[in-house]
Amino acid sequence: MKNDILKIENLKKHFGGVLAVDDCSFGVERGTITALIGPNGSGKTTVFNLISGVTKVDSGKILLNDLNIAHLQPSVISNLGISRVFQQSRLFGNLTVEENLMLAFDNEDQKFWASFLGDWWRKPASAKDTARQSKKQIIDEYLESMHITHMRDKQTRDLSFGQKRLVEILRALINPHNLLMLDEPVAGVTPELRDKIKKVLLELKAKGETILLIEHDMNFTLKVADWVIVMDAGQVIVEGIPDEIRHNPKVLEAYLD
C-alpha cells in the first residue's frame, strides 16, 4: 500500500468541446519525486490547475491526506500546503530577488488551517522559524543553499530564464508546504542550470520533500523521478518506474501521434 499524500480519483474537466482531463486517476507517494509527462495538450497543466483550484473541477476527487480539496478556493488549497511553480514565469520583474521571495512568506490564515487540520499538517522548518529569525535571514539561507546569494539585489527582469526558474523554485519552497508542484522547471533552461535544478530537486527529496513535476525533457525526468505517470488525451495511459517508461511502446506511440 503506497503512502500517498495526494490521490486523484476519476478527475474530469472539459473546456467547451475539449475534454482536457478525462477520468484521470493517480497517486503521489509521500517523500518521492513523481513526474507527470505526456505530449503537448495531453492535460498535464490542467491537472495542476485543478489540484491548485485555479480551474474548477467538473467531477472527481482530489484527496490531500484524505481531505477532498476539489471545489476549495485556491488560497485555501495553498494554505493547506500545496506550493506551485507555474509553467509561465510569475515573478515581479521590477522587484529584486529578495523582494520577490519576501512575498512568499506565510500569513495568518495558515495558523487557522493548522489548528483545524491537526497533526498531519506539518509546518516545514522555514515557517516555524519565521518568528525567531528574520525573513531576510531565511531568504539568505535559501539563496546560499542554491549558491545564488549574488543575485539577491538584482531585479528579476535582469536574470536569465534559468535563473528566474531557480528563484521561482525558491519562492515555492519558502511558502510553507507539504507538496511542491513544478510545471516544466527546466524548459528553456541551459544545460548547466538544468543540472543545478536536478541537484536541488534531489537534495529536497533527500530532506523529505514530496515533489510532483511536469517535464518534457525525458533525460531530466527519467533521471530525477522515482515514479512516472504518462498522460495522453486527458487520461493516464501508463505509470511506472523510469526504466519501465523508457521502453514502453504505449509511451512512444503517444509521443509519435
Ligand X SMILES: Nc1ncnc2c1ncn2[C@@H]1O[C@H](COP(=O)(O)OP(=O)(O)OP(=O)(O)O)[C@@H](O)[C@H]1O
Phi–psi pair at 212, nearest 5 degrees: -115, 120
Place of cell 514530496: 210
Contact 212, 28 (CB under 8 A): yes
Phi–psi pair at 173, nearest 5 degrees: -70, -40
Contact 37, 221 (CB under 8 A): yes
Q: Does 83 bind Mg ion (CB under 5 A)?
A: no
| Total number of residues that touch ligand X (CB under 6 A) | 12
- Is residue 140 within a helix (H) or strand (E), and if so which, with residue range? helix 135-145
Four-point Cα dihedral 233, 87, 187, 247, nearest 10: -30
Q: Does 41 bind ligand X (CB under 6 A)?
A: yes
Q: Does 15 bind ligand X (CB under 6 A)?
A: yes
Fill in the DSSP letter of residue 41.
Answer: T
Determine the Cα–Cα distance for residues 208 and 61; give it in Å rounded to an integer.
25
Q: Could you say which of ligand X, Mg ion, none residue 35 binds, taking C-beta under 5 to 8 angstroms by partner kind?
A: none
Smallest separation (angstroms) from ligand X to the CB of 143:
29
Letters for 86-125 (x = contact with Mg ion by CB under 5 A, - = none) are -x--------------------------------------
Contact 57, 50 (CB under 8 A): yes
Q: Does 44 bind ligand X (CB under 6 A)?
A: yes
Smallest separation (angstroms) from ligand X to the CB of 106:
29
Give the cell for residue 182: 513544478
Place of cell 511502446: 249
Q: Does 185 bind ligand X (CB under 6 A)?
A: no
Q: Does 46 bind ligand X (CB under 6 A)?
A: yes
CB nearer ligand X, residue 15 or residue 116: 15
Q: Could you say which of Mg ion, ligand X, none residue 205 binds, taking C-beta under 5 to 8 angstroms by partner kind?
A: none
Residues 72-131 that bind ligand X (CB under 6 A): 87
Q: Which residues pair with 34 in a beta bridge?
A: 212, 227
Q: Could you say which of ligand X, Mg ion, none residue 52 binds, taking C-beta under 5 to 8 angstroms by partner kind?
A: none
Q: Does 45 bind Mg ion (CB under 5 A)?
A: yes
Q: Does 20 bind ligand X (CB under 6 A)?
A: yes
Q: Which of 5, 27, 43, 124 binds ligand X (CB under 6 A)?
A: 43
Q: Could you say which of ligand X, Mg ion, none residue 40 binds, taking C-beta under 5 to 8 angstroms by partner kind?
A: ligand X
Determine the Cα–Cα distance for residues 12 and 126; give it in Å rounded to an integer.
35
Determine the Cα–Cα distance for residues 50 and 66; give it in Å rounded to an integer.
16
Q: Could you say which of Mg ion, ligand X, none residue 34 binds, taking C-beta under 5 to 8 angstroms by partner kind?
A: none
Binding site for ligand X (CB under 6 A): 15, 18, 20, 38, 40-46, 87
Catalog residues that contact Mg ion under the rule CB under 5 A.
Answer: 45, 87
